[in-house]
Every structure is written in structure tokens, then in C-alpha cells.
Structure 1
Amino acid sequence: MMPADFDIAGKGDAVRLRLTGDWTTGGLGRAAGRLDAALAGATRVDLDIDGLGHLDTAGALVLVRASRCSIPAEAWTSRPEAGRIYAMVQRLGCEDRAPPRKSDPITRSFARIGQGVIDAGREAMLSLAFLGRLIVAIGAMLRRPGRIRWPAWVSQTERAGLDALPIVALTSFFIGAVVAFIGADLLDNFGAAVFTVELIVISVLREFAVVITAVLLAGRSASAFAAEVGAMRMNQEVDAMRVMGVDPFQALVIPRLAALLLMMPLLTFAAMVAGLFGGLLVCWTQLNLGPAFFLERIVLTSNVANHLVVGLSKAPVFAIVVAAIGCRQGMAVAGDVESLGRRVTAAVVQAIFAIILLDAVFALMFLELNY
């Protein structure tokens, strides 16, 4: 590769520029700065390209800027391939284009709102389509139970359920302890500290245990499902399954859904026990209410069985929502890592939002049923 160089003949407005060497990215060197200074006052540039080697877009851009677009197209007659490169760069660099019209802030705000509505509608339609395909896959599985992939079911059950037990139990333990601290401090002002036990039982059994479990699984399992299925989409493994006649819903979605559907009630029950134990320790240390008295108050709490049923009845619904959202976002991953990151984030956010919304719906429903 010969370094780029030039000679200039003439002075004033019209000069003759003779190019030598390779005017490429690797060959330009300091020629670009020297050429700018040499052509500072020229309004017409005649070109001699007999000694020109190679020319790329970087070299053409240097010539366009230094000559201020004053090199005529006829100068490249002997080197038409170089002339085409120069003409393309000149067209992009010298054309006077009107700046794009920028809309006012109010229009942009309404445009963003409208685009958000469109995106929400598109997401809802794709979610309904996913739900329909999932129902069809479940029906096909029930018709042919011999094709159930039991190893995948067991593996997902262990990963989504048993591996989550320590963090679920520990978090629920501290939640129960916090509720007990708040109840003891508040009710002691009214001389009713003994009712702290009822506060712990009702709050943990009805709400905190199942909601905390669902939120933890939303952050843990929904993100994992979206990442695993999305990575397989990126690597075209899902397409390979379809080519081989394997239904991706049977192999990827249903095992994860079944695993959470089985393990969520069990994890919820473990969270209830851990939460009550945390409340027991606080009542024992702060209120001098021993374990025997704590357990007796639990038994005497009105409708304790109803509170237990209410909490456990929410668990399967939350499990279906968390698993379906995680797999749905994983199936929607495109072929790039950025899409995978967006879908994993969307899976966690949507799952947590759906849990809070459904919990509010359950609260209203049980309130109307007086249950």
C-alpha cells in the first residue's frame, strides 16, 4: 500500500490537484489535514488521477470536504469506478437538504400515547394467540398422555420449586417477623398486644405468604423461563424442533407450567409456616407470649381454615400467570441480545403487575362473598 499524497499546481481560485498513492482508510495518514490547508482558497479544482492507486469512501470524503464539492464529475472519466465512489459521497455530503421538520411537544406526546396504545393492543393480541396455542397443546397432551416428557417435568419442578424453597421460606420468615413487630408496637398502645397473633395469622395466611411467593417466583422463574426459551429462539433451536416434528409448547412451555402449578401451592404453604414461625419468635421475645399460647391463639382464631383456603386458592392462578408470561415473552424473542434483555425485563414486570392485579381482584371477590 502506497501512502496517499498530492501535488498542487497553480494559485488563486483555480488549481490543479494531482493525486498519488492509495486514498484509503489505511493510506490517508496526514494527507487529509495537509489537503484541507492547501485547498483553502480554491473555488475550482482540476483533477489529475493518473497516479491514483485505490480510492474508498474515506478518501472520497476527504476530497469532498477539502475541495468543498468543487471537483467536476468529468475529472473521473479515466477511473469510472473511483468516480462512482466519489459521486456517491459527494451526493450525500454536498446536497442541501431541508432539516427534518420537528413536531411540537404536544403532538409528540400524543404520538407516544398512541404508539403505546397500539403496542399494548398488539401485545394483548399476541398474548391471546399464545393462550390459544397453549390450550391446544394442553388438549393434545391430554389426548396422548404417553407423549408427556416426564424428565422435563421433573427437572423443571426441581429447579422452579425445590431450589426456590430456601429464599421463599427465609423471605416469608422476615415478613412474618416484621408484621409481628408492627402489630406488637401498635396494639400495645391500646392494651391489646395479645391480638398480634390474630394479625399475624390473618395477614400471613391470606395475603403475604402467597403474594411474596408469587413475586419471588416472578423474579426468579419467569425471568429464567424467558431467558431459556428466548436463548433457544435466538439459536433457532425452536425452529429446529418444528422441523423435526416436535411441538415447542409440548417440550418447552407445558413442563414449566406444570412445574409451577405443582410447586406454587407447596411453596405457599411453606411460606405460611415460615411466616408464622417468624411471628412466633417476635411474640415470644417481645411480648413474652410463649409458643404454646401462640399456637392456642391460632387454633382459636375465627375462620382460620377459611384464611388458609383463601391463601392456597390463589396459588394455582398465580402459578399459571407467572409461567405463561415467562414462556410467552421467551417465545417472542427476536434474533438479537437486546430483544432477549427486553423480553426478560418485560416478563418480570408483567408477572409482578399481574400478581398484584389478580390479588386485588381476589380481595374484592372474597369480600363480596364474605369469605
Structure 2
Amino acid sequence: MREWAQHSVDEAGGRATVTITGPLTVASVGKLDPALREMDDESVQFVDLSGAGRVDTVGAWIVYRFARDHHAEIIGGSEQAEVLLDAVERAESSARIKPERPRTVKRVVEHVGELVVQFVMGVRRNIGFLGMVMMAMGNLLMHPRRFRMKALVRQMELVGVSSLPIIGLMSFLIGIVIAQQGAVQLQQFGAETLTINLVGRITLRELGVLMTAIMVAGRSGSAFAAQLGTMNLTEEIDAMRTIGVSPAEALIIPRILAAVLMMPLLGFYACVMAVIGGAVVGDILLDIPFLTFLARIQEVVPTYDFWVGTVKAPVFGIIIAMSGCYQGMQVKGNAEEVGLRTTMAVVQAIFLVIVLDAFFAVFFTQVGWA
């Protein structure tokens, strides 16, 4: 059974002595500490430790603090207790436990300044990373035998072939939603047949490629960051540099090329699945035969809508792959950094994809492809 430290008060001649018995260790002072804190007796002159057992640093600090607060003298302590009491007395400091909180204006200005500096340094590092990739591509062009075709094919499988089921299902459902919601609204004007135009143009021009890019960013962009980040932590990338293998040539360029090559194909596949989803809704809700819906798509959708989506796809692929690889190469320190950089890669890629999509929308409108 656990033995607790206890105290008693002996008063004589207007002076009080607090006698402490039992072990003064972290496991036994749980009841003694609050009892001493509540004691408010100004007549305490001595703290008697002659009945105390084993003492550790916690017990010595509790006794020393009580004696200090009541201006009492500690008597009867063992040699071990005296050593620990002397140590905690010398370790006492009057410094603030928490630093003084700066004023609100100063804190806001400092925080904004830190964000600006981080942004500038991030832009600088991104530009440096882009330069490294371009130099590696130049080296591969000069020495094509160093290009790792097997790594490229493997990444094309991971980025493209493995993502066909989820992208196909997502695009099919998006086509269903667009057709169903569009039909409900257009029926108010007796123009439900224009659902074909709506599904065809919005999927081929915008949503097909955009949703594919978002899905690839969440699936492959995060994988790039996690893979390279883990290799950084395990020092595999440093080992590659040591034996004369360029990490950019072996790891980064195959991933970038795979994303660039597969994005147009995945975007086209997503558009086809979305149109099929719209055709299913047209057949069920609008009494438009399935094959008629598909044939009508060819008539109402301009060819340049297809080219608009096709042009955007490889650019989105570059953005996604560069963001994932860059964040993965920035991992340092610990495993928590891998998760943080992976999240940053996905957020950065999706943000840049949406910004570029808006830019492309304005650009193609200005050149007459609206």
C-alpha cells in the first residue's frame, strides 16, 4: 500500500513548527502539496524534516517553496535532503515563465512580414527547382541514353491506368448531375433539348479536364510528395547523389513527363464518360434516345471546345507534378513533415490549376474561342 507524506503543526510560545513525515517523492506528495498550499499560518518558524523518508527533487521543491513563502527555517533534514534543497534554491529564478505578449499592432505587422518573407522565399525556391528540372532535361537531351524509360512507363501506369476507374466513375456521375439539373431548369422554358448542348460544351471545355486535374492532384500529386519526402527522410536521395545519380533525372522528370502525357488522355476519357452519363439521363428523363444524344453532341459542340480542353490538360499536368515533386524534395526533419508537405502539394496544385483555368477561360474568350 502506498505511503503518503503527511504533516502536523506543533505550536509553542507563539511559534509553530511544521513536522513532515513519510517519503517526499513525486509518488507520495500528492496530498501534502495542496495541504501546504492551503496553510496560512504566519506563526510558522520551522519546518522539521527529521521524520521524513526518501527525498527527491519534487519533494525538496515543495518543502523549499513552503519554507520560502512562510519565511521559515528548515531543520532536521538528511544529507540527501540538504543537497536537494540547496539545488532547488540555486535553481530558482525570478524570470517570467511566459514572455510578455507584444501589442496587437506589433504582432499583426510581424506576422504579415513573416508571411511576405515566406512567400518571397517560396517563390525563389520554386524558381530554383524549376531551373534544376530544366537543366536535368537539357542533360537528358544531350545524353538520351541516360533517360529512364522504365521509370516513365511505371509512372504512366500509376498516374493514368490506375486512375481510370475512379476518374471514370466520377466523370460519369458528374455528367448525370449536369444533365439532370440542367434538364430541370431548361424544362421551365420548354428547352430541355438544350441539355445536350449544356452537357457537351461544359464537359469538353471545362469540367472534364478540370475535375480530372483535381482528382490527379489529390491522387498522384500527393503520392509524388509522399514518395520523395520519405526518400528524403531515409537519405535515399543523398545516397543517389553520392553514387553519381541525379535525383532530378531518375525521380522527378519521369513523374513530370508521365503527368504531362497522361493528362490529355485522362481528360478526354473523363469527357467521354461525362457525355455517356448525360446520355443516360437524356434517355431516361427526356426521352432522347441514347445514340441520338451522342450523335447530337457532334453537331452542337464546336471542335475548338475539344481543343481548349486538350490544350489545358498538359499544362495542368506540369503544375500538378511540379507541385508534388517540389514539396516532396523540401521534406526535412521528421515524419510529420511528410504529411504536411503532402497536404501542401495537393492544396498548391489545386489552387494553381483553378487559377490557370480562369486565365485560360479569359484568354480563349479574347481570341474568339468562347
TM-score interval, normalised by the smaller of the two chains = 0.7 to 0.9
Percent sequence identity over matched residues? 35
How many pairs does the alignment contain? 364
Deviation of the 1:173 alpha carbon: 0.9
Given that residues 5 and 31 in structure 2 are in contact (C-alpha distance below 8 angstroms), is that contact kept between their aligned partners in structure 1?
A: no
The Cα of 1:5 is off from its aligned counterpart by 6.6
**Displacement of 1:286:** 1.6
- Structure 1 distance, partners of 2:97, 2:199, is 68
C-alpha deviation, 1:172, in angstroms:
0.8
- The residue that corresponds to 1:327 in the other structure is 325
1:133 aligns with 2:135: no
Q: Which residue of 2 aligns with 1:60?
A: 60
CA separation in 2, counterparts of 1:234 and 1:49? 56
State how far apart, in whole Å, the 2-side matches of 1:40 and 1:331 are.
Answer: 64
Unaligned runs of 5+ in 1: none
- Cα distance change, pair 367–84 in 1 and its aligned pair in 2 (3 A): farther
CA gap 1:328/1:13 in 2 versus in 1, 3 angstroms: farther
The residue that corresponds to 1:87 in the other structure is: 89
**Residues 40 and 66 of structure 1 are in contact (CA less than 8 Å); yes or no, is this contact kept in structure 2?**
no
Q: State the match for 2:309 in structure 1.
A: 311
Worse overlay, 259-268 or 232-241:
232-241
Structure 1 range deviating more: 39-48 or 278-287:
39-48
**Residues 239-270 of structure 1: CA deviation (Å, up to 9, x unaligned):** 33333333222232222212211211111111
Q: How far off is 1:140 after superposition?
A: 2.1
Aligned to 1:345: 343
Alignment-derived partner of residue 352 in structure 2: 354
For the residues of structure 2 that align with 1:42 and 1:158, how far apart are their CA atoms?
A: 83
Q: Alignment partner of 1:333: what SS? A: coil
Q: Is the 8 A contact 1:39 1:67 kept in 2?
A: no
Residues 1-371 of structure 1: matches in 2 within 5 Å?
Answer: 23-25=24-26, 32=33, 41=42, 45=46, 55-56=56-57, 58-68=58-68, 82=84, 85-91=87-93, 95=94, 97=96, 100-301=99-300, 303=302, 305-371=303-369
Moved more, 242-251 or 307-316: 242-251
Q: Relative to 1, partners in 2 of residues 1:32 and 1:204: Cα closer, same or farther, differing over 3 Å?
A: same
Distance in 2 of aligned mates of 1:71 and 1:148 = 81
Letter in 2 for 1:165: L
CA distance in 1, matches of 2:181, 2:273: 18
- Quickly say closer, same or farther: Cα 1:15–1:239, change in 2 above 3 A: farther
Amino acid at match of 1:324: M
Measured after TM superposition, the shift of residue 337 of structure 1 is: 3.1
Counterpart AA for 1:87: E
- Relative to structure 2, which stretch is displaced further, 214-223 or 33-42? 33-42
Paired letter, 2:348:
Q
Q: Is the 8 A contact 2:197 2:300 kept in 1?
A: yes
Q: Please say if residues 175 and 275 of structure 1, whose CA atoms lie closer than 8 Å, have aligned partners that are also in contact.
A: yes
Structure 1 residue 123: Cα displacement? 1.7
Deviation (angstroms), 1:219: 1.1
RMSD of the alignment, in Å?
A: 3.4
- Partners of 1:179 and 1:280 in 2: CA distance: 11
Question: Cα distance, 1:7 vs. partner?
Answer: 9.0
Compute the TM-score of the two structures, normalised by the length of structure 1. 0.83
| Cα offset, 1:37, TM superposition | 7.6
Q: Matches of 2:324 and 2:199 in 1, distance apart?
A: 32
TM-score by length of 2: 0.83
Give 1:318 deviation, angstroms.
Answer: 0.4
The alignment partner of 2:132 has SS state of helix
Q: Which runs of 5+ in 2 are unaligned?
A: none
Q: Structure 1 residue 89: deviation in Å?
A: 4.0
Structure 2 distance, partners of 1:13, 1:128, is: 77
